[in-house]
Amino acid sequence: MARARGAFLLLLLGAVHLFALAAAVPQDDPRCRPSIPRRGAVAIYPSDLEQLQFLLNAKFIEAEWFLHAALGRGIDRLARNLSAGGPPPAGARKASLDFHTTEIAAELGYQELGHIRAITNAMGGFPRPAIDLSADRFAAIMDDAMGTRLDPPFDAYNSTVNFLLASYILPHVTASVTVGIAPALMGYSSKRLHASVLAVEAGQDAVIRMLLYQRADETVAPYRGHTVAEFTRRISDWRNGMSGCGAKDEGVKVLDRRQGAERRTISNILGAGVDSLGYQRTPAEALRILYGSRNEQVPGGFLPRGANGTIARGFFQLA
Ligand SMILES: *[C@@H]1O[C@H](CO)[C@@H](O)[C@H](O)[C@H]1NC(C)=O
Ligand SMILES: *[C@@H]1O[C@H](CO)[C@@H](O)[C@H](O)[C@H]1NC(C)=O
Ligand SMILES: *[C@@H]1O[C@H](CO)[C@@H](O)[C@H](O)[C@H]1NC(C)=O
């Protein structure tokens, strides 16, 4: 009897829950309509396409990185059509992660699949470019950033903290170039997509930075004397050096409070500039970092054969 009553209660709760879900998504409630564009506004300008398509380059890298690290498989297994026949990434594999980090990495990777699909559907796309995610690639960046030959070589796939440090390299680039292309966008649909992509991309950067901040004072085994905080500062300096456009990037824990929020904090979980506004980078700056060549006309690094799309290809024509 008590059991039957329990089951009935559960059913009732289920029904209430379903009703609540349905109520939360009103079909045609005028109070819930998105803001209406101004009369005569254009949804997408042709020049918007190349700007948003540019982001696909970084998003292909991030998708393959996070998904492989978490699940041991990438776009070709999880959303085959998205790669549009581009070559599989080199060197990507499952990382040795704790359960918590595996879940987070998988979520971030799946988010990138969504972004690639959304951008491609709205703006058109291109096949996945050739991508290098080998441990050697990350090791070379870390040596370069740390200004020394790490021994043994840094292995991005070896542990949770190594994975987080390697992950630190990517979302900042994508988030800052997403900010950077904002002034070039004109259509209201383009702006809506852009803002929605940026909201989640900035969140990804924050999540990685937060997880690293929680470990800021730990030594990165087996590199005695080098803390997590130092690694992040050095990687940020490395990105500033590659892009060659001044200081637009800081580690998760700064040495000088003046780099923190309102020039008062040592914690720097959200790296940002004056008035805590997100940094902006141009597509050329992003490519200099992703190529690791300091030159948007010289491919390499994560994109050994270069990025695709009108903007990136345009730099090759100049070369
Ligand atoms: C993938 O592409 C094939 C052929 O191009 C098409 O038949 C299929 O429906 C697509 N699948 C999805 C999930 O879009
Ligand atoms: C770039 O994209 C075009 C389609 O837009 C494709 O034909 C070409 O093969 C791609 N190039 C590279 C290097 O991936
Ligand atoms: C790999 O991780 C183990 C701990 O899990 C550590 O002892 C070892 O030094 C690490 N090796 C590298 C190259 O990071």
Q: Where are the domains of the chain?
A: 44-318
Query: From the CB of 313, is ligand 2 less than 6 Å away?
Result: no
pLDDT in the model for residue 1 = 45
Here the tokens at position 120 are 């491609």
Q: First CA to last CA across the chain, in angstroms?
A: 81
pLDDT in the model for residue 257 = 87
305 pLDDT band, cuts 50/70/90, is very high
In this structure, which amino acid lies at residue 5?
R
Q: Which ligand is nearest to the CA of 82?
A: 1
pLDDT in the model for residue 24 = 59
Measured from the Cβ of residue 265, the count of other Cβ atoms closer than 10 Å reads 14
Taking the centre of ligand 2 as the mean of its atom positions, its distance from the CA of residue 295, in whole angstroms, is 21
Taking the centre of ligand 2 as the mean of its atom positions, its distance from the CA of residue 191, in whole angstroms, is 25
pLDDT surpasses 90 at 66: yes
Taking the centre of ligand 3 as the mean of its atom positions, its distance from the CA of residue 232, in whole angstroms, is 19
pLDDT in the model for residue 46 = 96
- Give the mutation target among 54, 131, 308, 317 for probing the ligand 2 site: most ligand atoms within 8 A of CB: 308
Q: Mean pLDDT score of the chain, rounded to an integer?
A: 92
Taking the centre of ligand 3 as the mean of its atom positions, its distance from the CA of residue 157, in whole angstroms, is 10
By the 8 A CB rule, do 110 and 173 touch? no
pLDDT surpasses 70 at 9: no
Which of residues 201 and 25 earns the better pLDDT score? 201
Q: Which residue has the tokens 């929680």?
A: 214
pLDDT surpasses 80 at 116: yes
From atom 5 of ligand 2, which residue's Cα is the shortest distance away?
126
Measured from the Cβ of residue 250, the count of other Cβ atoms closer than 10 Å reads 22
pLDDT in the model for residue 14 = 47
Alpha carbon distance 185, 188 (integer Å): 8
- Give the mutation target among 101, 143, 158 for probing the ligand 3 site: most ligand atoms within 8 A of CB: 158
Taking the centre of ligand 3 as the mean of its atom positions, its distance from the CA of residue 150, in whole angstroms, is 12
Cβ neighbors of 274 (< 8 A, separation 6 or more) are none
From atom 3 of ligand 2, which residue's Cα is the shortest distance away?
126
Q: Per mean pLDDT, which range of 11-20, 32-41, 51-60, 189-198 is the poorest?
A: 11-20
294: left (phi over 0), alpha (psi -120 to 50) or beta: left
Query: From the CB of 305, is ligand 2 less than 6 Å away?
Result: yes
Query: From the CB of 129, is ligand 2 less than 6 Å away?
Result: yes
Here the tokens at position 232 are 């992040």
Taking the centre of ligand 1 as the mean of its atom positions, its distance from the CA of residue 80, in whole angstroms, is 8
Nearest CA-CA partner of 119 in 179, 230, 194: 194
Percent of the chain with pLDDT over 90: 79
Q: Per mean pLDDT, which range of 16-25, 30-39, 53-62, 65-74 is the poorest?
A: 16-25
Q: Per mean pLDDT, which range of 117-126, 260-269, 278-287 is the poorest?
A: 260-269
List all residues whose CB is within 6 A of at least one atom of ligand 3: 152, 155, 158-159, 162, 221-222
From atom 11 of ligand 2, which residue's Cα is the shortest distance away?
308
219 forms beta bridges with 227
Q: Which residue has the tokens 């021994």?
A: 151
**For residue 129, which atom of ligand 2 is closest to its CA?**
14
**For residue 308, which atom of ligand 2 is closest to its CA?**
1
pLDDT surpasses 60 at 2: no
pLDDT in the model for residue 25 = 59
- Write a three-state SS string for the chain: CHHHHHHHHHHHHHHHHHHHHHHHCCCCCHHHCCCCCCCCCCCCCHHHHHHHHHHHHHHHHHHHHHHHHHHCCCHHHHCHHHHCCCCCCECCCCCCCCHHHHHHHHHHHHHHHHHHHHHHHHHCCCCCCCCECCHHHHHHHHHHHHCCCCCCCCCCCCCHHHHHHHHHCCHHHHHHHHHHHHHHCCCHHHHHHHHHHHHHHHHHHHHHHHHHHCCCCCECCCCCCCEHHHHHHHHHHHHHHHHCCCCCCCCCECCCHHHCHHHCCCECCCCCCHHHCCCCCCHHHHHHHHHCCCCCCCCECCECCCCCCHHHHHHHHHC
